[in-house]
Amino acid sequence: MDSSLPTIRKNKTLDSVFRVMGGMAEAIFSWVGSINKDLTRDQDIKNLYEKMKECLNPKGGEIKARYNTISLGNLYLNLSDIGKTAFFRLLEEQFSADRNEIDEKIRDYIREIDEYEKRKLEFELMEVLESPRFCILKQFISLPDGLKFLVDMRADVMQLRDKNQQFFSLEKDLRNILSYWFDIGLLDLHQITWDSPASLLEKLILYEAVHAISSWDDLRDRLDSDRRCFSFFHYKMLNEPLIFVEVALVDEMASSIQTLLDSHVPPKDPKDAKVAIFYSISNTQRGLSGISLGNFLIKRVVGKLSEEFQNIKTYATLSPIP
């Protein structure tokens, strides 16, 4: 295998996904007209606003609704950071829940004395609390790789928010959608080995956030017979490890991480191991920040290892759990 390290993008765009309906540039132009990637012209914002409203009330049924969502995704992927900031601000300010409707439902609820009617009003209140923005974002879930699109969008929101741009409601809507879709019951645990696809091994090198992997030989050492690597995957993001943990199977507790990473130490028979040390845990998707996966991953891996190695009685971590 080539010893040089791979160069791939962390936030892979979804160009191929959004080409489903035809040429990307052509689709955007036919849908919204000529538009500046910075969205600096007033007409750009007006056109985008109208098209976002079309996503809420499509004329032409499900096929048209899908086309609108794909086109909106196409447009977003072609924006600069300045344009994305304007895009987010439009969603934040113009597609929030109607406060007058909310106030009216609250007043109705307070005045109502009948128990059955109160329960109906509770559901009506929940409906008006769901913002139009939330409805637009949910439409991406039905697209191939649409979930990855939302994960990357939240990463963009968080990055631009860090630059003193506040998108509180948009970020919370995205987090709520992703928290639902990344429930632990929807995640699959898989072991990653040296025989795993090269594209997946490349991502381990890229995403390792605790102890950098310096070469392919270094990676091979971390996947040797007395090492284990496990990752969570989502069925809608099959090619993306969400979070992964590296484990050393040893005779006793290590005094330092350098001991575990020393490439000159020959591998030992894992059947003789008495201790499993979780020495590196890495989140791979910034858009999933704040959605707790680390504790669940550790528990699942402990269960997996305890089935395979009954001699292991001690489990320890040398890495902060994200």
Structure tokens at 29: 């132009």
pLDDT beyond 70 at 226: yes
pLDDT beyond 70 at 76: yes
Give the pLDDT confidence score for residue 321 in this predicted structure: 57
Give the pLDDT confidence score for residue 59 in this predicted structure: 79
Report the pLDDT averaged over residues 220-237: 96
Report the pLDDT averaged over residues 207-223: 93
Q: Is 252 helix (H, G, I), strand (E, B) or coil?
A: coil
pLDDT beyond 70 at 132: yes
Give the pLDDT confidence score for residue 164 in this predicted structure: 60
pTM: predicted TM-score of the whole model, two decimal places: 0.85
- Please state which of the ranges 16-20, 162-166, 248-252, 288-292 shows the lowest mean pLDDT: 16-20
Cα dihedral 2→189→139→283 (10° resolution): -60
Give the pLDDT confidence score for residue 66 in this predicted structure: 84
pLDDT beyond 80 at 48: yes
Give the pLDDT confidence score for residue 236 in this predicted structure: 95
Structure tokens at 147: 């979930």
Give the pLDDT confidence score for residue 33 in this predicted structure: 58
Give the pLDDT confidence score for residue 217 in this predicted structure: 94
* pLDDT-based confidence at residue 7 (cuts at 50, 70, 90): very low
Of 242 and 22, the one with more pLDDT:
242
For residue 189, give the H/E element and its range: strand 187-191
How far from 31 is each of 8, 25, 35, 47, CA to CA, in Å?
31, 10, 10, 10
How far from 28 is each of 33, 78, 79, 315, CA to CA, in Å?
7, 10, 12, 53
Report the pLDDT averaged over residues 112-119: 94
Mean pLDDT of the chain: 88
Distance from CA of residue 256 to its chain's centroid? 32
